[in-house]
Chains A and B, each alone.
Chain A
Amino acid sequence: GQQVMQIPQYQHVQEGEDFTTYCNSSTTLSNIQWYKQRPGGHPVFLIQLVKSGEVKKQKRLTFQFGEAKKNSSLHITATQTTDVGTYFCAGHYWDTGNQFYFGTGTSLTVIP
């Protein structure tokens, strides 16, 4: 079946440092979504990328979709304690209806 790999599993950074998480699929995606889950909370939608090579920004967050639509990344500049949580990518494929395949997530800890 389809699978989306995500690395790293954990990341500890000092407040103010940058953070990046990566997702990779062995087959071409139709689109990819990113979610954030705070500790004890539920996943909350951040963004959707659809086009090859797409780059989107939300304040300190930069999202990229690879040219081949097989990989994606989320980069946070100058992390803050409010960025703490687990970041998930969710890949969608053309032949799977509305089914998304979630990566295993990257848990971000920000040390003040």
Chain B
Amino acid sequence: NAGVTQTPKFQVLKTGQSMTLQCAQDMNHEYMSWYRQDPGMGLRLIHYSVGAGITDQGEVPNGYNVSRSTTEDFPLRLLSAAPSQTSVYFCASSHGLGGETQYFGPGTRLLVL
């Protein structure tokens, strides 16, 4: 199993550009989520999904969209990038919906100029 994979590893964007961060898992996990990690602030939840076709907002959803058309994939879209979205983005998945172990992907480092 590859576990949780994320692409790209690094990305530089200009303000106003849009892009999609890809996340996929091959563990048949129901729950998937996106976090951003900023220095001194830990990991903050952006959006999450409890299954295909179901998504919901986390702590910091503004400026991001998600969709979940399959169990495996959970892309994160930046609609119009801003310097405040410079961060490291982690995708995670877990089996079940009751606070189970989360498996994290390797992360995407995003710089918005």
> Which of B58, B90, B97, B102 lies in contact with A45, CB distance below 8 A?
B102
Cβ of B24 under 8 Å from chain A? no
Residues of B within 8 A of A9 (CB): 40
> Which of A33, A41, A100 lies in contact with B45, CB distance below 8 A?
A100
**CB <8 Å contact, A98 and B31:** yes
Contacts between chains A and B (CB distance < 8 A), count: 58
Cβ of B75 under 8 Å from chain A? no
Residues of A within 8 A of B43 (CB): 43, 88, 90, 102
Cβ of A104 under 8 Å from chain B? yes
A1-B59, A42-B104 are contacts. A97–B97 as well, Cβ < 8 Å? yes
Interface residues of B in 22-59 (CB under 8 A from A): 31, 33, 35, 40-45, 48, 50, 58-59
How far apart are A102's CB and chain B's nearest CB, in angstroms?
Answer: 4
Cβ of A30 under 8 Å from chain B? yes
Which residue among A30, A98, A99 has the maximum number of chain B CB atoms within 10 Å of its CB?
A98
Residues of A within 8 A of B100 (CB): 98
Cβ of B64 under 8 Å from chain A? no
**CB <8 Å contact, A99 and B48:** yes
A97-B97, A98-B100 are contacts. A42–B42 as well, Cβ < 8 Å? no
Cβ of A72 under 8 Å from chain B? no
Interface size band for B: 20 to 34
Residues of A within 8 A of B33 (CB): 98
Interface residues of A in 94-112 (CB under 8 A from B): 97-105
Chain A residues close to B by CB (< 8 Å): 1, 6, 9, 30-31, 33, 41-45, 48, 88, 90, 92, 97-105
**CB <8 Å contact, B45 and A99:** yes
CA distance A41 to B41 in the complex (A): 16
How far apart are B59's CB and chain A's nearest CB, in angstroms?
Answer: 7
A-B contacts, 17 of them at CB < 8 A, read A1-B59, A33-B99, A33-B102, A41-B106, A42-B90, A42-B104, A42-B105, A43-B43, A43-B104, A45-B101, A45-B102, A90-B43, A90-B102, A98-B99, A99-B48, A103-B42, A105-B42
